[in-house]
Structures are given as C-alpha cells and as structure tokens.
Amino acid sequence: MSRSDDDVGSVPEGRRSAPDPTLRRERRTAWFAVAGLLVLLVGLYGAAVAVAGDRIPTGTRVAGVAISGLTPAEATSALTRDLLPLADEPIAVSAAGEVRMLKPDTLGLHLDVDATVARAGGGTKLDPRTLWTAFFGGDRVDPVVRVEQAKLITALRSLARSSGQQGVQPAITFRGRQPELRKPRAGRQVDVGQAAVAVLDSWLVSDGVVELPVVDTPVAVSAPRLRAAMARAERIVAEPITLDIAAREVRLPPRQFAPALSLQAQGDRLRPRVDTQLLTRRLGAVVSAASREPRDAAFTFVDGRPRLVPARFGARLEAGALADAVLAAATSKDERTARVALDTQRPQLTTGDARRLGIKQLVSSFTTYYPHEDYRNTNIGRAAELIDGTVLHPDQTFSLNHTVGERTAANGFVEGFIISDGIFAEDFGGGVSQVATTLFNAMFFAGLEDVEHKPHSFYIDRYPVGREATVAWGSVDLRFRNDTPYGIYIRSFIEPSVPGGTGAMHVEMWSTKVWDIVARQSERYDTVAPETRRISDDECVPTTGYAGFEIDVYRDFFRPDSNEKVRTETFHTDYIPADTVICL
C-alpha cells in the first residue's frame, strides 16, 4: 500500500517518546522561585508600608526642629511645641544700616503647621519611591508660611518711609512776595518689593538679621529745569492779579495770594499748585462779600393778615473754582485776571411755591381765657411765641412738643401748677395746656385731621367740655395733620392778664377754606361722685372736687356755603372725678 508524502517520517501514535522528567522538574523549580520572589517583594513592601508608610522621612528637619520618623500627629505636636513659639518672636531687619524689630503679626506672617507637616512627607505613602525616601533620606524642609500681603506691603512701606536717608524733592514756596527754593537731595530707601521676598525667604529659617535691599532715589528735576521753575515763580509774584467776580473787580496784591501757591515736583518738572483751604482763608473777606445765603419765602402778619415775604436766591463762591482761577491768572504770561462765576443757590421755598400754598383767608380761630397768675402769662406767652408764624404744608403734621420744645428755664419757662396723678402740683411749663386746648379747637374748626390729643384727666370748667387737650414733655403731645391741599399759617398770641382780671389765649389759622365745621355734643352721662383725699405734704394744694362724667362731641363737615353734610367725627371723653384735697 502506497503512503502519501504526508506520512513520510511520521511516527505511529502509539510509538511517540515520553517527556524528559528532568526538564519538567527544572521548569517547576523556576516557577516556584519566581513566585517566591514575588511573595517576598510583596511582603517587604507591606512591611515597609506598615513601618514607614505614614511617617516623616528619615533625616527631615523643619527650621532646625527634627521630625524624622514621626507620625503626622507627632510631627504636628513637635512643631507646635518647638517652632510655633518662634513665630511670635520679633524679626530683626536691617534697613539702610538701621536695625529694626518687626512683629510677625504686623507683617501679616503666620506659620501653617499642618501644611508644613504635609510638605515634609507626613501621611500614608504607597508609592515605592516615597517609601525609599522615608527609609533612606529626607532633607531640610522649609515651613509653610501664610501671608497677608496687604499687611506685609503696608508695614514695609512704613518702614521705608521712616528709615534710611529720605530723598528730598525740590519745591518752591512763597514768603510774602519772595519765592524760596527747597534744595533737592538724593536718598536711599528700602525696595519694598524685594524686601518682602527677603523677609519671606528668611523667616524662621534664619537666625540672623534680615538685610532688606535698598535702592537709590535720585533727584528727578534737572538743574536747568530748576532754574526755569524759579524764573516762573518770580513771574507769579511780579504783579497783582485782578479777581473778576460777579461783575465786581478786586485787585489782589501778590502777598495776599502767593503764600497759598507753590511749585511742587511732579516727575521731572516743578508744576504749580494751590492750597485751596489756605487761599480761601486769605481771601475770606472777598469770599464773604461775594457770597449770599438763600432765604426762603416766609409770611409775616401785617395789618391784620399774613403778608408774603418773597424768597431770595443765594450765591456761593466755590472754593475750587476760586483756586483754579487764581492759579491760572497768577501763572499766566499775559492775562492776569481771574474770572469766577458764582453758583446760584435756590431757596427751599420759593416765592411761587409760597403763593401756591393759598394762605389768604382766616379759616378758623379760637380764644380761651385764664385767671391771672404771673407764671401763666410767662409760660402761655412763651409757648404762643414759639408757635406763632408756623407754616404747615399739605400733608405735614404739627407737633406741639416738637415746636415748643422742652419746658425749661433755658427755654424761657417758669414753674407753675400742672395736673399730676389727679391733683395739682408745681413744675416747669404750668399753663401750657391752655395753649394746647386753644390750638386744638382752632384745628378742630379748621377741619384738620386729629392725630393725637389727650383731654385732661378731669374737667376744667374754663375749657370747652370734651374739646380740650393737655400736654406733657416726653409723654403726651398734641399732633394734627394738614390733610387739605393748601398751606396753613398759624398765628398765636396772648393778651396778658392783670391782677384781678383775666388773660386771653388766641389762635388763628389762615389758609383757603375747605370746610365749614359745626360742633355738637351729647348730654353728660355715667356721672361719678368725687372723693376726699387728705395729704400731708408741704407742696399740697387744697382743691374743691367735682364729679366725673362721660361726654361725646361731634364734628360735622360741610362744604363751604353748602347745607350738605359730608361726614361726622365723634370725640369721646371720659373725665374722672376731681377729688377734694385737704392739706394736713
């Protein structure tokens, strides 16, 4: 049987030779060796991580403090104990040969211990390269410094100004008509930017004095330009200048304006400047003559009615404009006239505004009477004087306490009788309630809005029942609002009493009439009999009591010259009994 070429040289399956036992043993041995080496390396790595994985590398020092081989917590404790106190000690710096001591806090320097420990290598290490460093060599580590840059620069600038040889820039000032040159001088001062770098590089890592770099400060203005500036200064004081203000010319000699002028260094030149405040003071008489305060329109009472006093516009000479004009004229080669325009000052209340208030007719008036006492004439008259002439604009609220002020001797008041705790007592301002009652009734019949009023605790028979008011500084006020579209001019005055006679308190309100007011009242009800009080006190005032009661007062609003009632307001008053007081 013939065989194909594929069968040539083949060995029957049943006759193949077996693998060499020696070769197989060698292969197994090699695999075991590799695996053992890997196990050994992993074990060594694990042991290294366990021993030094979270420790500071060997040999590490921070600003002289050894933290080699410590855990992060131990390193933090060591730096806090040994290095942090040094962060509070002053730093010695040399500025242009002068040694100064500066506090780190003043420079805005703060040691960050935690960040320093992290920089030193504290924390778990898994990278074999960092493990190698942990075992076989750390190094000197600079502390981490947190800087408040603004504080550092500010402190170094202050040091630069106060140390070294300060340069002097030239300047020309005037004494009378004589220009005086301040001679320049070169200087040396601290270079603030480089000084900041030197301080940061040296803090906590250097025990010596920190040398701060200095730079020269040369004189920028050349000698030829100094000579040109002096010539210009001589021209400034060569002749007077003319101040043209509000069409009025004032001749100013050099001795009057020159001391407020100077030529100061700016870059490489001397440029003219003016001291605005000094010039304004030296020309005070001129400024005062040209200026005028605005005056509001006002009303005065003449020939039985309010008369409008027109407003006046003011004029103000602005100090800056005056300074600019004088400087321009003084430094001009040709025109030595300083022209200054005045700023017009508008009054708060113009004549037109005052006319539109419609103050032209008597819309209400009221009079109350009082028995003679000198203190009443004084106190009622003083309060009336303070109220007289008040102009109440639309939507404005009147306050008696605000208008009259505290009743004191300094304000023109004397002691008199007041009602306190239901009985009469003496205090400053006694009698002012007479003014409050009269004013309340004038407001009542003018149809104005009642904001706040308080009747007396018990009824006083010289006042309209249910239509009266009392006041007390700091606690009880009389307030009403002008709820009409017109202004209200309040006129208040007294007719003083004389012994054996009575005085009269008058209030008039002038405006444009909006309402006709009709007053009505109920009968008195819920009467309460008075009691008797016996008081042992040197200041006791005996009085005869009378009953308390309640009453309602109605205010009916009618349009002028109309019988149609628009609305009604009710004022309820509850008077307590006025006790009889017997002084023991």
Neighbours of 284 (CB within 10 A): 10
DSSP calls for 512-572: ----EEEEEE---EEEE---EEEE--TT---B--B-EEEEEEEEEEE-TT---EEEEEEEE
Q: Select the more confidently predicted residue: 118 or 576.
A: 576
Instruction: Classify 369 in phi/psi space as left (phi over 0), alpha (psi -120 to 50) or beta.
Output: beta
Mean pLDDT of the chain: 85
pLDDT 10s digits, 283-313? 998 888 888 999 999 999 999 999 999 999 9
CA-nearest of 318, 319, 321, 315 to 345 is 315
pTM: 0.59
| Cβ(103)–Cβ(32) below 8 Å | no
Residue type at 231 in one-letter notation: A
- The model's confidence at residue 139, banded by pLDDT at 50, 70 and 90, is low
What pLDDT does residue 426 have?
60
Q: Cα separation of 469 and 478, whole Å?
A: 7
What pLDDT does residue 21 have?
67
Q: Which of 129-133, 394-398, 563-567 has the largest mean confidence?
A: 394-398
Q: Select the more confidently predicted residue: 386 or 62.
A: 386
Question: What is the CATH number assigned to the segment(s) 224-353?
Answer: 3.10.20
Give whole-number Cα distances, 155 to 158, 161, 193, 216, 259, in Å: 5, 10, 12, 20, 35
pLDDT at residue 47 is higher than 60: no
- The model's confidence at residue 65, banded by pLDDT at 50, 70 and 90, is confident
- The model's confidence at residue 161, banded by pLDDT at 50, 70 and 90, is confident
Q: For a pLDDT cut of 90, what percent of the chain falls above it?
A: 51
What pLDDT does residue 393 have?
97
pLDDT 10s digits, 335-358? 899 999 999 999 999 999 999 999
Instruction: Classify 395 in phi/psi space as left (phi over 0), alpha (psi -120 to 50) or beta.
Output: left
What pLDDT does residue 72 have?
86
Q: Where are the domains of the chain?
A: 224-353, 357-516
